[in-house]
Structure 1
Amino acid sequence: MDKDKKWIYYLGLIAVSIIWGANFGVSRSAMETFDPILFSFLRFGPAVPFFFLILLIKEGSVGLPWKAVLQLALIGLIGVTGLEIAVMYSIKYTTLANASLLNVAPWPIFAALFAPLFVKEKFTRRLGVGGAAAIVGVSFIILGGAEGLNLSSDHMTGNLLAFGISIVGALFNLACMPLMKRYSSLRVSAWFIMFGSLFMLPFTAGSWGKVDWSELQTGHYTAIVYNVLICTVFAFVVWNASMFKIGAARANFFRYVVPAAAVVAGLIFFDEGITAWQIIGALFMAAGLVWISTEKKQPVQAG
């Protein structure tokens, strides 16, 4: 990989993580109006035509062989429908801090462990050291907040669900990699998001009538547009393209920027404080990610 282009992909991963983290602030008020699953559908469903339009303009066609279509239907069911609903319920049955830590922190570890099952990526010493520093950093960021870690048995269901999300999410990312090798990250993204949206639609059946659509304000529409165009269309195109070039194991450690961006969003949108532990954690995380991204030899990938 060209050294100059490598930095573009790392910047892409960081930018998307900031976008996803900021979305906690953008969407929090909208979630008071919309059922969480309905809001998830409003994020992914309207994005589908944009994906296929971009795909048609860029690549001249949108089709896939039936075998790949069936694979992406399963990936969409698990990686979009299943994960999005699971995230909502994990937050419902445990604290936000617990859900964030157990969802975010183990995800890159599982991606690194499972990577050899899908692609030929080397787990290097630099990745291990940088990843460990980033894990310490993201733990400080999440646990340094007001809630902290709550190990009460009352939260066990949500804790286990959040931990399961990190395993399934890592497998979801890795399952896309061989398909991206044969087709393109854009084509793969368009199809699995389409299927994920279709499978999610039945779960919204009882939610549409609960929304007073005539009372929606500019902020609600802004949140939906931000989720559709920025958090989904732009973010998935950039993330998957960058992940394919950098490698899934390495790229997923950049998910640790998400909770850091969420903390900053909380400060900007809701005047929430930032603690010294969170600042220390951000420094640890940044050091770990810089250490990972400056490795000269990139892992070899194969379909």
Structure 2
Amino acid sequence: MDKKWIYYAGLVAVAVIWGANFGVSRLAMDTFDPILFTFLRFGLAVPFFFLLLKLKEGSVGIPLKAALQLAVIGLVGVTGLEIACMYSIKMTTLANASLLNVAPWPIFAALFAPLFMREPISPRLIGGGGAAIVGVCFIILGGGEGLNLSSDNMIGNLLAFGISIVGALYNVACMPLMKRYSALRVSTWLALFGSLFMYPLTLGSWGKVDWSGLSAGSYMAIAYNVLICTVFAFIVWNASMFKVGAARANFFRYVVPAAAVAAGYLMFDESITGWQLLGTFFMAAGLVWITLEKQKGIPAAAPAARG
């Protein structure tokens, strides 16, 4: 079997994990402040990242220039984006936030990719991506909330749309670094810098949590976010994105809303409409069409950096 299927399967698996996390995080928000919970997710993941990096590559360091680059990317792509996502959901409807955040992201990634990597935009990518966009719109808007463009939601709508632009830029900005360093090393330092910049924003939240009274469900939510959604997902996503290209990889973000709908059905007894099922079909067809394209070459694996 062509090895590229491993990387596409990795992208789908991570998207499902992130989609399911909508339900897990919703439960956790009853106990934790959103920014504190996000900090716990990344901050507690940092030791695991460094341990894995040391065991796998024998060193953990990076040159000063790369550290400065990763600090900027971590500030924008981890600290900034995670907090912006939280406030976009707070300041507009969930349907608006999902649609304006998720749907444009791969389009901007495809547009930005040539600035950082030589990634051609093929007719198959455009066709498959178009079908996936139609599908994700059906999935998000078919849930009953619909798109609400009232002035009350405008700031949240603009914030969600801005996330898709900055997020896509963040993704493709990581690609040149992964030519020189492994996906694990890049993910490790991004998590570290993102956590460091996020910590000051949590100082007023620690005392609001009844730490001695945390339930097993709260600990499970933290463990899922740290080990699965962050450590496992970041490494697999970055490695797979490097192999198939940022433009193709980001269209697999469209699996996230479908997984979130499934999580809502399983965890909160939310209904699934016919429009959402139809959207899932269109999205899946578009992504399969993208994966069937024969690429001229897959970039060589990034070497394990020593530092």
TM-score, normalized by the shorter chain, greater than 0.5: yes
Counterpart position of 1:100: 98
TM-score by length of 1: 0.97
After the TM superposition, which residues 29-108 of structure 1 pair with which residues of structure 2 at under 5 Å, given as runs? 29-108=27-106
State the distance in 2 between where 1:150 and 1:183 align. Answer: 43
1:228 correspondence with 2:264: no
Offset from partner CA, 1:48-69 (integer Å, 9 cap, x none): 0101111111111111110000
Q: Which residue of 1 aligns with 2:305?
A: none
The residue type paired with residue 159 of structure 1 is N
Structure 2 vs 1, CA of residues 30 and 138 (structure 1 numbering), >3 Å: closer, same or farther?
same
> In 2, Cα distance between the equivalents of 1:297 and 1:225?
37
Identify unmatched segments of 5+ residues in structure 1. Answer: none
245 and 222 in structure 1: CA distance in 2 versus 1, 3 angstrom threshold: same
Aligned to 2:185: 187
Q: Give the Cα separation in 2 of the matches to 1:298 and 1:258.
A: 28
Asked if the contact 1:122/1:300 (under 8 Å) is kept, the reply is no
Counterpart CA distance in 2 for 1:6 and 1:225 is: 30
Structure 1 match to 2:259: 261
Shift of 1:301: 5.4
1:268 counterpart letter in structure 2: L
Q: 1:26 aligns with which of 24, 27, 41?
A: 24
Spell out structure 1 runs of 4+ moving beyond 4 A.
298-303
Identity, % of aligned positions: 77
Distance across 1 between alignment mates of 2:95 and 2:74: 27
The 3-state SS of whatever aligns with 1:32 is coil
User: Aligned in 2, Cα 1:298/1:120: closer, same or farther, shift over 3 Å?
Assistant: same
* 2:172 alignment partner in structure 1: 174
Q: Write the distance in 2 (CA, Å) between the matches of 1:298 and 1:20.
A: 30
Do the aligned partners of residues 155 and 61 (structure 1) sit closer, same or farther apart at CA in structure 2, a change above 3 Å counting?
same
Shift of 1:95: 0.4
- Looking at structure 2, the residues matched to 256 and 71 of structure 1 have their Cα atoms a distance apart, in angstroms, of 28
Aligned length: 301
Q: CA RMSD in A?
A: 1.2
Contact 1:246/1:298 (CA < 8 Å) preserved in 2? no
Which among 156, 159, 165 is matched to residue 154 of structure 2?
156
Contact map agreement 2:244 2:298 (CA 8 A) in 1 = no
Counterpart of 1:169, as a letter, is: G
Shift of 1:245: 0.2
Question: What are the Cα deviations for residues 127-171 of structure 1, in whole angstroms up to 9, with x where unaligned?
Answer: 000000000000000000021111111100000000000000000
Give the structure 2 partner of residue 132 of structure 1. 130
- In 2, Cα distance between equivalents of 1:110 and 1:217: 41
| Corresponding residue SS for 1:181 | helix
> 2 CA distance for matches of 1:170 and 1:27?
23
Matches within 5 A, 1:114-133: 114-133=112-131
- Find the aligned partners of 1:18 and 1:153 in 2 and give their Cα distance: 33
State how far apart, in whole Å, the 2-side matches of 1:255 and 1:175 are: 17
Change (3 A) 1:243 1:298: farther
| Corresponding residue for residue 249 of structure 1 | 247
In 2: Cα distance, 1:170 partner to 1:39 partner: 24
> C-alpha distance in 2, partners of 1:155/1:103?
14
Alpha-carbon offset, residue 212 of structure 1: 1.1
User: Any idea what the Cα deviations from partners look like across 1:185-240, whole Å, max 9, x if unmatched?
Assistant: 11011001100000000000100001111221000000000000000000001000
1:287 aligns with 2:285: yes
Q: Tell me the TM-score normalized by structure 2.
A: 0.96
What amino acid is the match of 1:4? D
For structure 2, the 5+ residue unaligned runs are 303-307
Judge conservation of contact 1:141–1:279 (CA < 8 Å) in 2: yes
1:16 to 14, 17, 23: 14
Q: Could you say what secondary structure the match of 2:29 adopts?
A: helix
- Does the residue aligned with 1:4 lie in a helix, a strand or coil? coil
Instruction: Report the AA paired with residue 206 of structure 1.
Output: G
CA distance, structure 2, for counterparts of residue 203 and residue 12 of structure 1: 33
